Amino acid sequence: MLFRSLDVVVASDAEQRGIFSVSDALRFVPGLRVSTLGGPGTFTDIQTRGLRTTDTAVLVDGFPFRDPTAVQDEATAYISDLFLVDTSRIEVLRGSGSSLYGSNAMSGVLNILTDTGGGLVHGDIDVQGGGLGLFHGVARLAGGALENRLNYSAGISDLDVTRGAADAGAVRDWSGQAGVSYALTPNIRIGARFFGNTGYQQQTTDPEPTLTAPTAGVIVAVPNVTFIPALGDPDSGRYSHFADALFRFEHQVNSRLSYRIAYGIVDSHRNYTDGPGGPELPDWFQPAFNTSSLFDGRLDTVRARVDYLAGSHQILTAGYEFEKENYLTVATDQNPVLALRLYTRTKAAQQTNAAFVQDQLHFLGGRLQMLLSGRFTHPSLEQPQFVGGASPYTAPLSSPPDAY
């Protein structure tokens, strides 16, 4: 039970309108700004209440989903890869949720919930197509067994955009999502969930002014006259995949007390490739030979949480969370001169221990709501490792101070 205000987007309602991505399903939620730099499947970010994109946390079934290799350790790099595959609904928490979910939840929380399954075996197939060479298909299956003590659901989707906006920004994307749970007793349930994606995005140049464009006054935007539009780069691409898994144990002790223990894994991979082909523009330089910039990350999270209904107007929550993050980046090229060939590698890791507590109160039929919460985080950094260059740290790297 949650007293705080939520906006809920039901996945089936969004799909009836032809919406198949999480970002498009959220476009009509008050207080959210969704920006996409191109056609379906291209780079997308989400802002809540006008704050930074890094201040909106993304959760899958209540557990953090983010990219440890991102500069701000958040999920923006993979927003465009989140689709309504086996999703039941998306919950949008308005306002800060950082006490429970960390510093990335300063402005809001997006929680993508997997379909719980159950009931008679059922499924559906949805196929659609359109402009930009668009094809999207999704297939799902769900049901229950053993007198509905065992519930399951699964889905798989494919997105292909062969042309993209202005014949640039082609996309290929496969996603899979599944969940299974089993009731050991009427009050104890164990479960597992998986969400994975693999895809390709063709990279494009940024729009830029022409050399003959006026530099003062009101400039009318005329393609190829006052500005050069985004152009496709045939040998520049983003190859990526992520795997997100969750294992949990839940116990409803009585009508007031419940607790849950869970372990989540997010494994991410991004590889940006480029070559000598493509447009030559004043601000867009093509490399002399093929290059690769690889980013690998992994986030392991263990969380224990207790919820207690102190009365009809109050919920108390307390918990502990342990996280370990691993970061790896490798840059290479295919210079034919082996002595000049590039190879740099950086590896880093950190772990955090956190404790949190929250007290929710509501009065006057829910019209007056109060929230008292706090979080303590103790970070610990491991010494980074560098290959292909000198370490920028002349002394052991110290951990940042504790956060409150």
Q: What is the pTM of this model?
A: 0.90
Scan for tokens 């393609």, then name that residue: 223
Q: What is the pLDDT of residues 306-330, one digit of tens each?
A: 999 998 889 999 999 999 999 999 9
Q: What pLDDT does residue 129 have?
A: 92
Closest CA to 112 of 60, 174, 181: 60
Joined together, the tokens standing for residue 204 give: 């494009």
Q: What pLDDT does residue 5 have?
A: 67
Query: Over 80: is that where the pLDDT of 389 sits?
Result: no
Scan for tokens 């560098």, then name that residue: 386
Q: In angstroms, rounded to a whole number, what is the distance separating the alpha carbons of residues 234 and 95?
A: 42
Query: Over 80: is that where the pLDDT of 281 sits?
Result: no
Question: For all residues of the chain together, what is the average pLDDT?
Answer: 90
Query: Over 80: is that where the pLDDT of 282 sits?
Result: no
Q: In angstroms, rounded to a whole number, what is the distance separating the alpha carbons of residues 78 and 67?
A: 8
Query: Over 90: is that where the pLDDT of 151 sits?
Result: yes
Using alpha carbons only, what angle is made at residue 136 by residues 135 and 137, rounded to the nearest 5 degrees? 130
DSSP state of 255: S
Q: Which of 123-132, 138-147, 215-224, 270-279 has the highest mean pLDDT?
A: 138-147
Query: Over 70: is that where the pLDDT of 112 sits?
Result: yes
Q: Which of 173-177, 218-222, 287-291 has the highest mean pLDDT?
A: 173-177
Query: Over 80: is that where the pLDDT of 336 sits?
Result: yes
Exposed (0-12), middle (13-18) or buried (19+): which is 49, by Cβ within 10 Å?
Answer: middle
> Using 50, 70 and 90 to split pLDDT, how confident is the model at 173?
very high
Query: Over 60: is that where the pLDDT of 1 sits?
Result: no
